[in-house]
Each structure stands twice: as structure tokens, then as C-alpha cells.
Amino acid sequence: MPESSPSKHAEDPIRLLALDDQAATLQAYRWVFGSPAVWSAPNAEQGSPEEGVRARNGAFELLTCEHGADAIAAVQQGLAEERPFTVLFISPLLGTGEDGVATAVAIRAADPDINIVVVASPGELRPERFEQSIEPPEKLLYFPKPFQPHVLRHLASTLGAKWRAEQQLQHSHKQLEDQVKERTQELRVVNQLLIHDISRREEVEAALVESRERYALAARAANDALWDWDILEDRLYLSERWFLMLGLEPDRHPDQPGALVRARPPRRPPAPAMGHPGAPGRRRGPLRVRASPARRGRFLPLGPLPGPGGA
């Protein structure tokens, strides 16, 4: 079923379809819903289904048909042109050999939103036949013959307003579903990016842990007291061997340089720079370290000491 915007039908007349095999009944429909200038067009079998007998005024647009096949074709064409019918008035008995129930079932299958009104005299009406075959029940009504014009017009106006409200609700629901699908797709993309980022971070963290473990094993194998001073963060890394050489417990001492190490100015001329000859700011000299009371001594660092002036 093609979709159409509810606003497109807001100002249009309410489209009505009447199916009956009695010419007098169809003429009564045209008199109730038409203007004083009611006209007839060629029979629907000679042309388009929309070329049946019509009647129009400012509020309603009526198409009448004598045959069920013409009514079904008219409903299908109205849907294709995005001008669906709002109400179908149908007789349960069609003298042309067609079954009104079967025709109503076919029309309901083509247009689930159309309101079906079974118009019949008390002797013709068998509601159970329609109720067993046509759903939903809230879109199936019964109207007695002979009908009163003002009551029938009021019924058509009420069903038309109800139909337009339902179309507006369906349109709003469709818009909401589209927005939910769009946001869901956006969230799915963001979620995939987060999963990829988390996986990448886990890989980096695992590699870092492995690198630290290898470094620790290498430091233990070298049996050297390694240290590293991050001057910007004012943090000092000391290897486990460093603490053991001083008789300290590694887990009981902070990592701030001022708590463990105090450098003293050299008492002799600076030695040649470590590393490349003539490298500025690098020197070799004694370093006094605060050790435990049981041990005191002098150690030569593996890294550079600050040069003159703190360089």
C-alpha cells in the first residue's frame, strides 16, 4: 500500500464508495452525498473504474458501483494514485451473482484502513458472516435500510475524521520509527568504534605488561642496581637490586628523589663527560646515598649526574 502524507488529504473531500445492485439505492447515495448538480458517467465496465457514477459536494466525493469487481478495481486505483477511499458502503446481497462478503474481504485485503459499512434491511443482514471474515471489528459497522440522509451524512463525516486522525497517527509513528532506526544505526557505529578502541588499548596494555616483565627479568639477570629519575614528574625508579645493595626494603620507601638520594657538589675537577667526548652537561662524580643505619657507602650511578649549575 503506497504511503501518502496525512496533510495531503486534510483539505480533500471525504472519498466514499457505494456498492449496491439496486439503482434506486445508488441514486439515494448520490442524493445524500452529492450536490444538486449530480451527473452520470459511462459504466465502469466501459472504461476506468473511476469512471463510474459520481457525486460530489464540498465535503464528500462519492463513487457508486453496481459490481463488486468494479469496486475492488476502484479501491486499488485510489491507492495507486494516493487518493484512498475512507468509507465503503456495501450491500450484503448483490443480485449480480456476486457475494457481498467476498467483495468486502477482497477490499479489506487491498486497503486495511478503509471503514466498511454494511447497509442492509433487517431481513438481509447476517452480521456473523461479515464478522467471521473481516477484521478488525472496529472498522466494520452496520447501517439499516432505509437510511435517513442526515444520519448517514453524520456517520460518513465521523468516519472520515476518524480515518484522518488514524492516518496522522500512523504517519507520526512511522517518522518516530525512522528516527529510532537512524539513531540506532549511529549508536551501532559508535559502539563498534568503542569496541575497536578498547581492544586496541587492551593490546597495548598487554604489550606494556609483557615489556615490563621482560625488563624486570633482564635487570635481575644483570645483577645491577638500576635507577631512573623523571625530572619533570619528580619521580625516581629504583630497581629491586638497588634497594638490596643498600639494605632497604623496596616496598617501604617512596619514589620521590628527595626521600632517598642527595647529590653533593664534586670536590675535584669534573671528569670527562660520559658517552661521547665533549658532550655538554654530562659528568662523572661521587653520589652520597642515604642508606639504612647498618650500611653507608659511595656508589657510582650508571646514568649521568647534573652538571654545573644544575645542567
Instruction: Count the neighbouring beta carbons within 10 Å of the beta carbon of residue 234.
Output: 11
The C-alpha cell of 119 is what? 447497509
Strand 60-65: give its sheet, edge to edge.
53-56, 60-65, 14-19, 87-90, 115-120, 140-144
pLDDT above 50 for 136: yes
pLDDT above 60 for 2: no
What the chain holds in terms of domains, given with CATH numbers, is: 6-172 (3.40.50.2300), 227-310 (no CATH)
pLDDT above 50 for 52: no
Q: Which DSSP symbol is given to 223?
A: T
- Given pLDDT bands bounded at 50, 70 and 90, which one contains residue 89? very high
- How buried is residue 84: exposed, middle or buried, by Cβ count under 10 Å (0-12/13-18/19+)? buried
- Comparing 18-27, 36-45, 155-164, 205-214, which segment has the lowest mean pLDDT? 36-45
With beta carbons less than 8 A apart as the criterion, state whether 299 and 289 touch.
Answer: yes
Beta bridge partners of 61: 15, 56
pTM of this prediction?
Answer: 0.53
With beta carbons less than 8 A apart as the criterion, state whether 114 and 104 touch.
Answer: no
